[in-house]
Amino acid sequence: MMKKAALAIAALAACTSSAWAQSSVSLYGIVDAAVRYTTNANPGQSQKQLVPGGMSQSRLGVNVTEDMGGGLKAIANMEHRLNSDTGAIAAADFWRQVWVGLQSSDFGQIRLGRQYNILFDAYTSTFASFRYSPYIEAFKPELGMALGARQSNMVKYLAEFGSLRVELQASAGEGVAGVPDKSIGGLLRYAIGPFAVAGAYQEVQEAAGGKVKENLIGVSYTEGPWYLHAAYADNKFDASVSAVTRGTYTAGLAPANVALAATSSNVSKRTMLLVGATYQLTPQLNVGGNYWHVTQDPFVGTTDSKADYFALVLDYAFSKRTDAYVEFDSTKFTGNLAFNGGSQSRGGAMLGLRHRF
């Protein structure tokens, strides 16, 4: 009897081990911190600080994959953003991403939950600002055009057919007043040799019906030590969109601590043109530059606002996971755009260290 019980336990253990062997749970993250100097950060004053994310926002995440056989997998992701300078959470929502989905080798993926929208996917997958980093966390005007970058209550479909990638997203919305929680959008990406091109369309809608719409198209070229990219985007705001939503989506025009004068409740359209290049000087050393030009049109009045941004980054990789960087940036406004205190120009510089695991 004891022998049979032992054999049964051994068989159960073997089955359990086999089942666990088909599943994987991986922990990943980034810890990034930088010393930053900013001019006109406060009215008439410069600022020195340790920022909790220079090139990347520090984060901790969990990826889950279960192989269910027949080319079908269960997938899930949970990602938390944190401030490396204080240890505090980086946003009101503890989980900046949290979704569950299914992946088929024949039909692609479907994901349910809070996740990146298709605009963010286009910017970071096809015409990222730098070869070694999709954007500068402390200076990212392109993400000011991404309609929040993430969307709650989302269903997203992703599939790759050879060189073609397709993404579709939809959020039914839960009717919270003043919150643009309803969305639809689609992305097409095509890559061949050193070239990649992507186009996307997304709209978000408030419970009262006001919509914000974006068109986005861009291209990149990667050959040897060179990475070149360019993109165009426009946002259009219905007149009925609330001042809260309009202000939230226009705030990205100015990285950190900005007042948009009277324009946040008056903007009808924004356009952005971005171009940039990265050159790999040595296997460890990269230099990259990026330029963004933004125009903002009002509903009322004749004064358009413009913004010109420039950033230069020198990045040195100590290893595959650890790099150090030096960054310089500048911002120049015209029209109704202004920083707190009324200044229309600002400069910044950073020296930082980043580790990815």
Residue 11 lies in a domain: no
pLDDT at 316: 98
Give the CATH number of the domain where residue 332 resides.
Answer: 2.40.160.10
- Encoded tokens for 294: 């933004």
In single-letter form, the type of residue at position 246 comes to: R
Cα–Cα distance for residue pair 141/125, rounded to 1 Å: 17
Q: What percent of the chain has pLDDT over 70?
A: 88
| Mean predicted confidence (pLDDT) in 226-230 | 98
| Mean predicted confidence (pLDDT) in 44-48 | 88
Lowest mean per-residue pLDDT among 2-11, 27-36, 52-61, 97-106: 2-11
Confidence class for position 9, pLDDT limits 50, 70, 90: very low
Cα–Cα distance for residue pair 184/203, rounded to 1 Å: 6
pLDDT at 44: 73
In single-letter form, the type of residue at position 190 comes to: Y
Residue 280 lies in a domain: yes
Domain count of the chain?
Answer: 1
Asked whether the predicted pLDDT for residue 18 surpasses 90, the reply is no
pLDDT in tens, 241-268: 887 787 778 766 655 434 444 445 677 8
In single-letter form, the type of residue at position 128 comes to: A
Residue 15 lies in a domain: no
Confidence class for position 302, pLDDT limits 50, 70, 90: low
Confidence class for position 269, pLDDT limits 50, 70, 90: confident
pLDDT at 246: 79
Hunting for tokens 């924004």 — which residue is that? 270
Residue 12 lies in a domain: no
Residue 104 lies in a domain: yes
Residue 5 lies in a domain: no
pLDDT at 343: 83
Radius of gyration (C-alpha) of the chain in whole angstroms: 23
Cα–Cα distance for residue pair 299/311, rounded to 1 Å: 31
Residue 3 lies in a domain: no
Any bridge partners for residue 236, and if so which?
213, 269
Question: What does the H/E/C string look like for 151-181?
Answer: EEEEEEEEEEECCEEEEEEEECCCCCCCCCC
Residue 141 lies in a domain: yes
Which domain, by its residues, includes 134?
22-356
pLDDT at 43: 75
pLDDT at 10: 45
Confidence class for position 197, pLDDT limits 50, 70, 90: very high
pLDDT at 301: 61
- Encoded tokens for 232: 């165009």
Mean pLDDT over each residue of the chain, to the nearest integer: 88
Burial of 157 (0-12, 13-18, 19+ CB in 10 A): middle
